[in-house]
Amino acid sequence: MRICEKNEIPTVIHIHSGRFDDFCSGFAGGSVRRALHKSGRRTVVLEERWLSRLANWIPPHSEVIPNPSESIVERKGHLPGSTLNLLMLSRGGREKGLGFAAKVLDSLLSTGVDATLRMSGEMPRGSRGAEGDRIEYLGWITEERKAELITESDFLLMPSEFEGSSMAVIESIVNGLPCIVSPTCAETVGMSSLVLDLRDPEEWAERIQELSDSQRYAEVVDELGQQAKRYAIEAVRGRWGSIYEGLIQEANESNDGH
């Protein structure tokens, strides 16, 4: 950024972190504020909520552009079967809620619902199997394996404590895979019926059972199709194009003024 500033080249700063407000609250906040408020720089965040959460550090003209995604599987007509297949796609880590997801599975099994849970990413230390060893830890997976998992699963779980804007949830939305998420993903999913707090895994299990009804499931998938429009590559590309074109125009006007 310093090199670009010296050569009067505009700069775009894209903030992704799910805990960037914590980072700024420390000693780095002043440096972040000074760096982002310089002329010729444009700050972009992933969701509207970050405009207010980062208001003490980012410029008032900062913009929101979500991460794009595209459908990679065909799930038309998919309905849950006799066994509910649950999925978590993450890199692992305590803040991702892997332990909470296991409790959701335990709750389903305790009520007589046949269910499985598959988790990608690093296996957590001290991990355990649920009743009947119904949890499968997948480790790191390929894009091809991810597509298979999205095709085979009935629900994505995202009980995360922190998210910038979960790509796993976005991918779930654009591929028509219903997802149950924590409040940190509420704006990402855009459907209140799919958002639950992290106090009670039994509530998550009950919501999964409720949405497993074939008619309700189909309704959720249809509504996800509307939410998916926000993440269409063409739509997101157009918003990025406007930012770059605006910066180029500002730079040209500044040079003309010289």
219-244 pLDDT tens trace? 999 999 999 999 999 999 999 999 99
Structural domains in the chain, sorted by start = 2-67+232-257 (no CATH), 84-231 (3.40.50.2000)
98-143 tens-digit pLDDT: 889 999 999 999 999 999 999 997 765 555 544 457 898 888 899 9
Cβ-in-10-Å burial (0-12, 13-18, 19+) of 186 comes to middle
Which pLDDT band, with edges at 50, 70 and 90, does 18 fall under? confident
> 17 and 23 in contact (C-beta within 8 Å)?
yes
Q: What residues contact 223, with CB distance under 8 A and at least 6 apart?
A: 191
Encoded tokens for 145: 């394996």
Query: Counting Cβ atoms within 10 Å, is residue 13 exposed (0-12), middle (13-18) or buried (19+)?
Result: middle
- The tokens describing 231, both together, are 């993440």
DSSP β-bridge partners for residue 181 = 158, 195
CA atoms within 13 A on the CB side of 16: 4
Residues counted in the chain: 258
Res 249 pLDDT > 90 = no
Contacts for 159 with CB less than 8 Å, ≥ 6 apart: 96, 97, 100, 101, 104, 181, 182, 198, 204
> Is the pTM above the cut of 0.75?
yes
